[in-house]
């Protein structure tokens, strides 16, 4: 199934879009502190600079998704890619903090145009039997981008601190050209003609109907919780390893690389078939179990080998959770609302990435190095308990599709 899907030019372009956007996201991580510091940024300003990306994603994701339901996926993807390339160019040319903030805000706001629209496009061109494979491929490309981004950014910055941004500009423009030629519109005119409500009105209607007690509402809250707990780890991991094991940047980078590679391998080869074999709900439940226990195992790691084993195993065993959730969102939603639900999912994920780092850092300072991981494990266990009520993981295809017509 995967081999057949990868022979479709549109699928390759969609995966490339995810790859490039996540490379761009990761590429900035090792460079931005020094780049902003050279312009006089202090710690608070640097934190705001990182958070601003997710903030605009939180604000704009559902509107871009809704817009793609009305105008088509192709124009939203193309404008998102062109705008994303422009933000990298602004980064490379920036000579003050104001321009950096403008570029960062635009980067978040425009990347969240391309991501929900590309996920909705994948839903458009796959039926339910192959949707799990499609979402797993999108997850694989995103994971690969997260792994490659910091590596590319770090090496290019050794040549020139501005060079990573110019290279990212060129790569993003190339993908935009490929999308222009090989990505035909996936949403037919009949589906677009059904969009009677304005984007704002439809979002308001969605908010009224997606209550927490309903499957889609619970999935959105679970998306928030998972990204919140994950950001707890990511934001304090370096400090945690330094305090507990005396490790530095090399060991931190190696741990994240091992985790990224394990995730890419799992999503590339086994997640799609597992979704079809066991169902999305089962993979979500298993992901919550393994996430919670892995966070606790990190507290007893004694050396680098043990740490790498825990990180790699956690990434491998939990890699099906996010693609399974994206697939479930898609299956629970009507065809003309795919952009809306993918945008909402991206919005709740962004909110978790905004609040999570602040909470993790505060817990680390106030309650000790272990506290962010204990708290993260509790979040996962709480999600697991709630899942037994809101996800009938023994019987796939619960609930009804979202329809706001």
Are the CB atoms for 146 and 158 separated by under 8 Å?
Answer: no
Hey, what domains does the chain have and what are their CATH numbers? 1-185 (1.20.1250.20), 196-405 (1.20.1250.20)
Contacts of 181-185 spanning 24+ positions with Cβ under 8 A: 182/9, 182/10, 182/12, 182/13, 183/10, 183/13, 183/14, 183/74, 183/77, 183/121, 184/10, 184/74, 185/72, 185/73, 185/74
Contacts of 150-159 spanning 24+ positions with Cβ under 8 A: 150/26, 150/27, 150/29, 150/30, 150/253, 150/256, 151/257, 152/23, 152/27, 153/26, 153/27, 153/28, 153/29, 153/30, 153/31, 154/30, 154/31, 156/27, 157/30, 157/31, 157/34
Q: According to the model, what pLDDT value does residue 190 have?
A: 59
Cα–Cα distance, 77 to 118 (Å, whole number): 7
Q: According to the model, what pLDDT value does residue 213 have?
A: 43
Cα–Cα distance, 233 to 224 (Å, whole number): 15
Q: According to the model, what pLDDT value does residue 287 have?
A: 94
Question: Which residue has 């272990």 as its token pair?
Answer: 370
Tens digit of pLDDT at every position of the chain (405 positions):
444 555 578 888 888 898 888 888 778 777 777 788 888 887 667 767 877 888 888 888 878 888 888 888 899 999 999 988 999 999 889 989 999 999 989 888 887 888 888 888 888 888 777 777 788 888 888 888 878 887 888 788 888 888 988 998 999 999 999 999 988 888 776 555 455 444 444 444 555 444 444 567 888 899 999 999 988 887 788 788 888 999 876 787 788 888 888 988 888 788 888 888 888 888 999 999 999 999 999 999 999 999 999 999 999 999 889 888 888 888 877 777 788 888 888 888 888 888 888 888 888 888 888 999 999 999 999 999 998 877 764 444 433 343 333
Question: Which residue has 């939203």 as its token pair?
Answer: 76
Q: According to the model, what pLDDT value does residue 7 have?
A: 56
Instruction: Dump pLDDT digits (tens) for 230-246.
Output: 888 877 887 888 889 99
């Amino acid at each position: 199934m995967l081999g057949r899907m990868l022979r479709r030019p549109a699928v390759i372009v969609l995966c490339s879009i995810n790859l490039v956007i996540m490379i761009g996201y990761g590429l900035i991580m090792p460079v931005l502190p020094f780049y902003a510091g050279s312009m006089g940024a202090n710690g608070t300003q640097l934190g705001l600079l990182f958070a601003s990306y997710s903030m605009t994603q939180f604000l704009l994701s559902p509107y871009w998704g809704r817009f793609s339901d009305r105008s088509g996926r192709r124009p939203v993807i193309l404008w998102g890619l062109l705008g994303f390339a422009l933000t990298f160019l602004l980064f490379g040319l920036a000579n003050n903090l104001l321009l950096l903030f403008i570029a960062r805000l635009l980067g978040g706001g425009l990347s969240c145009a391309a991501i929900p629209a590309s996920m909705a496009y994948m839903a458009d061109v796959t039926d339910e039997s192959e949707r799990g494979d499609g979402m797993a491929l999108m997850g694989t490309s995103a994971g690969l981008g997260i792994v490659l981004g910091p590596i590319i950014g770090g090496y290019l910055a050794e040549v020139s601190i501005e060079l990573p941004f110019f290279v990212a500009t060129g790569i993003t423009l190339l993908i935009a050209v490929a999308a222009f030629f090989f990505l035909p519109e996936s949403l037919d005119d009949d589906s677009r003609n059904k969009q009677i409500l304005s984007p704002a009105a439809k979002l308001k209607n969605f908010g009224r109907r997606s209550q927490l007690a309903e499957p889609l509402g619970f999935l959105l809250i679970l998306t928030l919780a998972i990204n919140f707990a994950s950001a707890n780890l990511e934001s304090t991991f370096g400090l945690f390893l330094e305090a507990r094991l005396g490790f530095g940047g090399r060991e931190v980078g190696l741990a994240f690389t091992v985790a990224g590679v394990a995730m890419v391998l799992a999503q590339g080869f086994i997640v799609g078939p597992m979704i079809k074999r066991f169902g999305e709900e089962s993979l979500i439940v298993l992901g919550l179990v393994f996430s919670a226990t892995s966070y606790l195992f990190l507290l007893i790691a004694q050396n680098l080998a043990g740490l790498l084993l825990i990180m790699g195993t956690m990434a491998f065993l939990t890699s099906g959770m996010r693609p399974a959730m994206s697939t479930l969102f898609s299956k629970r939603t009507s065809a003309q609302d795919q952009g809306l639900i993918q945008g909402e999912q991206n919005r709740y994920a962004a909110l978790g990435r905004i609040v999570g780092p602040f909470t993790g850092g505060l817990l680390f300072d106030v309650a000790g190095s272990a506290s962010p991981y204990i708290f993260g494990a509790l979040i996962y266990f709480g999600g697991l308990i709630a899942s037994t009520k809101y996800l009938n993981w023994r019987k796939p295809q619960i609930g009804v599709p979202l329809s706001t017509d």
